Each structure stands twice: as structure tokens, then as C-alpha cells.
Chain A
Amino acid sequence: MTQRNIRNFSIIAHIDHGKSTLADRFLEHTGALEAREMEAQVLDSMDLERERGITIKAHPVRLTYTADDGQTYILNLIDTPGHVDFGYEVTRSLSACEGALLLVDASQGVEAQTLANAYLAIDHSLEIIPVINKIDLPSAQPEEARRQIEEIVGLDGDTAILASAKEGLGVHDILEAVVKRLPSPGGDPQAPLKALIFDSWYDAYRGVVIVVRVLEGTIRTGTKVRLMNAAQDYEVEQLGVFTPKPVVIGALGPGEVGFVACGIKRVLDAQIGDTVTETARPTAAPFPGFKALKPMVFAGLYPVESHQYSELREALEKLRLNDAAFFFEPETSVALGFGFRCGFLGLLHMEIVQERLEREFNMDLVTTAPGVLYRVTTTDGAVTEIDSPAKLPDVGTIAKIEEPVITATVLTPSEFVGPILQLCQDKRGVQKALEYKASDRVLITYELPFNEVVLDFYDRMKTISRGYASLDYAVTGYWTSPLVKLDIMVNGEAVDALSVIVHRDRAYDRGRQLAAKMRELIPRQMFEIAIQAAIGSRIIARESVKALRKNVLAKCYGGDISRKRKLLEKQKEGKKRMKRVGRVEIPQEAFLAVLKVGEDG
């Protein structure tokens, strides 16, 4: 197989636009897997991903395709994560490709994230083949999608291929286009090795497995290699490709994509974006653009039952083996006891970690409100990064607080522009641009405090646009803001795990809403419970939960004591899921109440 017959490409698509189904059709069409032996959507390997219809990481697949020209091609399908939390991983995946399929849902049209990723692909000089999918749906408007590809993305709409991955329509045309329209990779097989890591995971048997795209030179089993950024040397133990089953091979040349096992112990040592070269004959410069993944959103994770602390730590350690972007360190809360402050790339990443802990590790967790990384300058000139409201220094010693700012792009049908602009203003945003891309589509660019977005921006945007507006963002800087710590006191005691950092002008409203929400969430107990919101020593809102006066006085009929016992056991289970703070039992969801305050208005 010559380099000329290799094509490396990825699929850019919005969640639910049919990426996984199309990938499955490729496998079927190229005979990589018989339709029968294939579980639906083989590429999404984790259950969680499949359930949510989102792919975080899928293995690259090597397809062997005999084209209409009679030649056999190797097509490497490289997956890109489908969510804004994983933007950096997208850029690395695109760097491993010469081309991309831009998959657009024929009834939904182009969405903000598709647009953002399409621009990224264009920036990486990728050749793009637009594909209009789901043309079988009654609501399909392929001509509208074509127009949007032309007017919004700026690609030639006439070159778009009409397809229905579900029905298998257009699959052959797409594969032919990949062969004909995408360039073959360059690179000198004799040059010093330069390979880009674009995925890695922990394997219990082989240690960390990395996935590379060879750019220059050749990697062979037994080669001594160096990870340039990590500055660590290893010996290649195993090389292979996914067909999608892993198949071991002896060497990977320029343009090829495959996995490498070389005894790396932690995914942290093999970060995405790092460059692999030969130890003995290193390449002149690493592949540009490496950056260590940095968590942006932080929350406290606590076991509901304190004896599960060490189990939680083990679970977090296991997750971290496979997730370089995930960060945790021990944290103690007066209210919640021993737990961990955890850092995530974004909210989805946080939800995924939470769900995996609960599902795979059977942990019962209390999660505190997510926040961002603040930069605090104290009066002595020192600058510290604060990932938790509890770590905010004494007000008197703070010179200034800076908060991370994102540049957000919202793509919306024009009818929702007004409410979305209003929302952005409410969220303390600064408008950067407003472009009418097509007659009915508007691209809004705003700078927004990341904290506001973490709280409830996305949900509210979806609500006011009836689901039509889409969002993409990246953290682009810091602002100095008048931020204050808002405390919630329950029966006179400040509950540290409920504190949040908010903008001074919003503190009063937030406090009031938060106290009201807590009143709803805390069930009546044997005594009256006072809930107060406070800034420093100033109480800004009060609520109370009246004492429970009665529950049901049921008959214990005909001596059925087992039933009575079951009722009491159920009640006890309910109590166990609460955290006792002083004498008050606080349900888990109350610690996330701050996320819910916007919902009522």
C-alpha cells in the first residue's frame, strides 16, 4: 500500500446529526464488520456515551476500501468529540486529518458547534466534503441545508452529498468522494520520526495506549521513542490499528494512524497533542500547538456516607488514569465532611464523571455547585487561583478578583435574536459581533463571564429559543469584576458547601432566589428551620421551613408487620440520602440549588 492510497478524515457533526450511524455504515460498506455481527454504533465504546448519544472518544478505525477506480485504499476515520467541553481534543484530531466530512442534518441545518468545528477544519487547511444527512425524514429540507452550507459555512453547497446514514443512502458516494476529493498524506518515511498523539487511554494490561498519526518518518516495534513535551523515553512494545478490532502490525509510516503501547504508566504522561519522536534521531521541532488540558469548572464531590471516602478516592484515581483533563484533590467541608475538589473541562465533562462514579463505582454523591477558576490578587500583590468559594481570602485582603471570560458564539434563527441578546446582557455579556449569515440565521458573538455560563446560560438559551439556538465557546481571557461570596446559613450556621461567588449587583437577587429554593428543597423536619442568605455579616434574605407536624398514621392491618417495617426502611433510605448539617437533614439536590434558581423566572 502506498502513501498515495491513504486518506485520513474525520466527521464534523452536531450531536444527533447522525455521525455514529454514518460511521457504522462505513464499516458495513467496506466489509470491516458484517452487519449481523455489529452492535449498533460500534464506535461509541462506552455505555454512557451510547446512552447519551454523544461520543467523547472513539477509536480511529482503519477501513480497507476498494474504490470504483479498482484501487484499494486505506481510509482512516478519526473521530472528533462532539461537545464544546472537548474543543482542544477536536483540534488535535483535525490535525491528524487531511479532510473532513461536514455532516448536516437535513431538517436541523447548520448549528453553532458544527460551524465552529468547520471553521477549525478550514483553519487546519482540511478539504471539506459537505454531507446532508437524514434526507429520508419527512421534515428534511435538503435545499435549505445546502443553502446554509453555502451562506453560513461558506462552502460550495453544490458539492454536498445527499445521504441517509440510517437507510444507507449516499454512503457509497461519500466513500468515493473521500477517495477522489481528499488529498493523500505527505511525509518522508526516511525522515526523523514525528507523530502526533491525538488520543490515549489506560488499559489494564498494556498500560497507557496512545493513538498517533505519523507525520514524518516511521515508527517500528522496538524503537526507542521520546514524548517530546513530557520529555520521557519509552520503547515501543506494540503497534497496531483498529479495523475496528485491534490488529497488531510491525510499523506505521507517514500518513498512517494507529495505536502504540510503550509502557507508559499514566495518561498524564501521554497527553493529547504531544509529539512522539525517536530518542536517537529526534525531529527538529515538535508538532505545534501543544497545550496541557486545564480544568475550567470546579465542584466539590462528597460521599453521602462518610465511610465511602476512601472508596471515592479509589474511584477518582481510576477515572483519572483514563482522563488527563480531570483533576481532584482532597477538600474538607464543615458541612459535608471529607471529600474532593474536582476540576473538569466543562459541565458535560462534570456530568459524565459524576454519572460514571454513580453508575460504575456505585457511589452515592453530593455535588456542590460548580464554579470557575478565579484569579485573586491580594493587597500584598500576590496572585492566587481560587477554585472554591471557601478558598476566597478575607475580604479586607483582596485587591481585586478576576474571573475567566469566554468568547461565545450563538447561532440562532433570527426570531430569537432579541431574547438571546437580552439573556447575554443579563449575564453581564459584552457584544462583539452580530452577523446575519443567511436570511434567517444570525451569528451572535459575545464575551461572557464563564461563571454565568456555568450556572444556567445554556439551559436558558435553549428554553428561550425553543431549542433552535446553538452555542460554542472558548475561554479567552480574564476580567476584573466586583465579586462577592454569598453564604447560606441554615439555623444560623453558615453551610460552607452552599457558598457561591457572585457578582455584587446580582448578589441580592441570587440570595433571595437561593434561600427560596432551599426552602422548597429542604423537607420539613421536627423543628422549624431558618434559612438565610448573607454577604459577610449582612443578611440579605430569610426563609423558614416550618416544623413537620404530622405524617400518615396508617393502620397496621391484620398484623402485617413486614409491611410496616418496609415503609420505615424506605423512609430510612430516604434519610440516608441526606446530609446532616448540625441537626438539619439537607437533601443532595439542595447543594446544587444554585443551578436551579433561574428556572422559576
Chain B
Amino acid sequence: MAAPATTADRAADELMPAGLYLHIPFCEAICHYCNFTRGVLDEAVKSAYVSALVTDISRAPERGAEVETIFLGGGTPSVLSPAELARILDACRGHFGVAHDAEVTLEANPESASLERLEGYRAAGVNRLSFGVQSLDDRELARLGRLHSAARARQAVDEARRAGFSNISLDLMLWLPEQRTDDWHRSVDAVIEVAPSHASMYLLEVYPNAPLREEMMRRQWSVAPDEEAADMYLEGLSRFEAAGYRHYEISNVARPGFESRHNRLYWTGGHWLGFGCGAHSTWHGRRWRVMPGTGDYIRAVSESRPVRLDIRDVPPTEQLEEALFMGLRLTEGVDLQAIRERWGVDVLARYGDDLAPFLEEGLVQVTTSGRLRLTRNGMLVANEIMVAFIGDAVQ
């Protein structure tokens, strides 16, 4: 039921690229704003976890599947030693058909990087590094409870280059406590000066129970007004573009050819298998998650119990909705003709009423090449627009 209806569609679905997501749930310290599955590092647990992860991968029923990307996220995957990382990647290569030119990304924190370590990662097969620098302003980093300084971040990028990495991404955050327009511009300029091949910019989202929220109240830190934050985002993009980057997704810019191939799977209806606690998978119309607890995961794998939870087939209507709301994250938007061919749905006819106000306000446009895309102002209010594609929740 979940798979597309016709053989032609099925073929189209099969052709979509696939990737692996590996979750490493450890951190040297917990950031004040973090809401992901992670815990503070414990060497013994880490070692047991790596073994469990390797075992889990080697037991996956999707044996032999061709994958073009591997993404190690966390947590802080750079807490892994090069040897541990090599074990994990070897397990992937032993079990799946990992393409020879696969994109293998490792998320790294600047503070845990060193030339030796980075060289080791490179030798193990990592070819893309994503540094969570968040800011290149020491005061902003301190407010976020980050361990590194801006200087350390610059040094990490430098070491990565010396270790042979040319595909480096830096994460930047905006709408940070006390961050004002000028601070943001300085951070963007500093990143451009460091010249990574790829950069992401996210608005900080302070979860209701995040310690940062409490600290912000206690210290009376404020964030820029919405208007200002919107302008910060737009100006950040302009500066990146002026420096030769292409804005290819709501939160991402890259030098041509350095767009994230793994993240593109998420935006274009690709397939991915997630391993490690809390990882999510979407694989040929089926979706599941892995149990969230680190200890639970290690025990379940060692006792050969299933770790995949909430396995369900994604109904075609949901797949269509996702193709739209995920696809609109890309600057290129979605190809209306392709949607019509694959789902038999005329997007403008079905969602036209809901989209009309956004089209009218210039937040969404239909290009001459027949693509539906968000304008830059539309990207700032993407959620408001994406809601148009959400069917009534199944009660």
C-alpha cells in the first residue's frame, strides 16, 4: 500500500538515491539549548555502543542495498576515535553497497578536533566534515555554553584542511541571546573569510525546558525582534551569495558542487536507513525509528532483540504531502510536472485556495519552468506555507 501504485512509479521510487544515517549519542558537554538524543561521554559505554552499532548494521535486513551517502550525526560523532570510526564505516561497507564516491559526513565539534584525529578520520573514509561552530563570537559561544572559542573553530578548519579535507561545512546560528544585527554580520563575514565549501544557518529555537531558557530569564538576555531577525537572515544570505555561495535550501548555502547530498535525500523523497539509538529511517515507503535510550539500545542489540519501533507504511497521500513540504525547502522548489506524473495530482488545483494568499503576497511563486518554490521572504515563514499541504490529522 505504501509503495507507489504503478510499476513505472515503483521504478521512479527505486531510482531515488539512498543513504545511511548513524547516530552517535555522546557529547563532551551538553549545550544549553540542545534537545537531541544524547548523553555525556562515558568511555566504557561508548565502546559498548560502537560494538552494538556495528552489530546492528551487520544484521540489517537491507543487506546489499546501494547507498551514496553516509552521515554520522549526534550528539558529537567526533568523540569517536579514528579506530572506532573505521570499524563503523567498515561495517557499512561490508554490509551495504557503498558507492566508491559516496559522501561520508562526520559532524564534529571544533574543540574535539586535532590534526592527528582528523587525519585518522580521513583515512577511515570520511570525506566531508560538518563543524558545529554556531558562532564566531566568543561572547555568543559562552552564552550558549559551548566549550570552544572562535579561534579554536578557525584552527579546527585549518587542521581539517591540512588533514586533506576540502569539503567542510560550518553551522551558524542566528537569533542568539543578545545577538544583534552587527554581531551576526561579523559572524557571517568571519565564516566567509574562513571559506568553507558549505554553511548552514539556523534560527536558535529555545525549547521550553532548555536550561538556556532559564538562564536567559535570569540574566535578562533578549533576542532580536522578529523583524530584525528576518533581516539578519536575508542579509546573511546576501553576503554569502556575494562571496560566491549559492543559496540552495532554506538554511543552507554552498559553493557550486558542494551541496549536501545526504540532506538532499530528506528533501527529495530519497531513502535512508538510520542506525543507532533514536535514529529515523524512511525506506521505500516504510518508516520507523530506533529505540531512543543508549543503554536500551546496547542491551537490545546484545540480546538480539529488535530495536526498530513504530514501523509503518507511509500512505501515498502522506508521501505526496511530504514531497511538497520537504521539497519546498529547496530553493529550486518542486517540479509540478514530476509530482503530477508520480502522484497524479495537480498541486495548484488541489491546494490552490490555500496557496492563493501566499502567491499573492509573493511568498510562493510558480516559475516559468513549472516549479513551485518559496521566495526568500517565503522561506522565512515556510511553516505557515507548508501547513497548506497538511491533510487533516488522522484521529
Contact = CB atoms under 8 A, between A and B. Distances in A.
Interface of A: 524, 526-527, 546, 548-562, 564-565, 567-569, 571-573, 575, 583
Given A550-B229, A568-B325, A569-B390, A559 B265 contact: yes
Given A549-B380, A559-B21, A568-B390, 15 more contacts: A527-B357, A549-B229, A549-B230, A551-B380, A551-B381, A553-B201, A553-B233, A553-B379, A558-B23, A558-B274, A559-B282, A561-B266, A562-B287, A565-B325, A571-B383
A564 B251 CA distance: 15
B266 A575 contact: no
Contact of B390 (A546, A551, A558, A572): A572
Given A526-B381, A549-B227, A568 B73 contact: no
A526 B361 contact: yes
A562 B309 CA distance: 13
B387 interface: yes
B280 A526 contact: no
A561 B282 contact: yes
B203 A560 contact: no
B322 interface: yes
Contacts of B21: 558-559
B326 A551 contact: no
B251 A559 contact: no
A575 B357 CA distance: 15
Given A526-B357, A556-B266, A549 B381 contact: yes
Interface string B159-171: 0000000000000
* Interface size range of chain B in the complex: 35 or more
Contacts of A564: 325-326
B36 A575 contact: no
A553 B250 contact: yes
B239 to A, nearest CB: 17
Nearest to B37: A558
B271 to A, nearest CB: 10
Contact of A554 (B73, B205, B380): B205
A438 B361 CA distance: 68
B387 A553 contact: no
Contacts of B233: 550, 553
A559 B361 CA distance: 31
Contacts of A567: 383
Contacts of A557: 36, 73
Interface in B367-395: 377, 379-384, 386-387, 390, 393
B57 interface: no
A564 B382 CA distance: 12
B202 interface: yes
A550 B280 CA distance: 28
B121 interface: no
A584 to B, nearest CB: 10
Nearest to B22: A558
B96 interface: no
Nearest to A568: B390
Contacts of A554: 202-203, 205
Contacts of B393: 569, 572-573
A568 B383 contact: yes
B387 A575 contact: yes
Interface string B322-347: 10011001000000000000000000
26 contacts: A548-B226, A549-B227, A550-B203, A550-B230, A550-B233, A551-B383, A552-B203, A552-B205, A553-B233, A553-B251, A554-B205, A555-B251, A560-B289, A561-B322, A562-B289, A564-B325, A565-B321, A565-B325, A568-B325, A568-B383, A569-B390, A569-B393, A571-B384, A572-B390, A572-B393, A575-B387
Contacts of B377: 549
A305 to B, nearest CB: 11
A552 B173 CA distance: 12
A493 to B, nearest CB: 15
Nearest to B322: A561
B357 A559 contact: no
A559 B380 contact: no
A600 B358 CA distance: 35
Contacts of A565: 318, 321-322, 325, 390
Contact of B382 (A551, A569, A575, A583): A551
Contacts of B272: 559
A548 to B, nearest CB: 6
Contacts of A556: 266, 326, 329
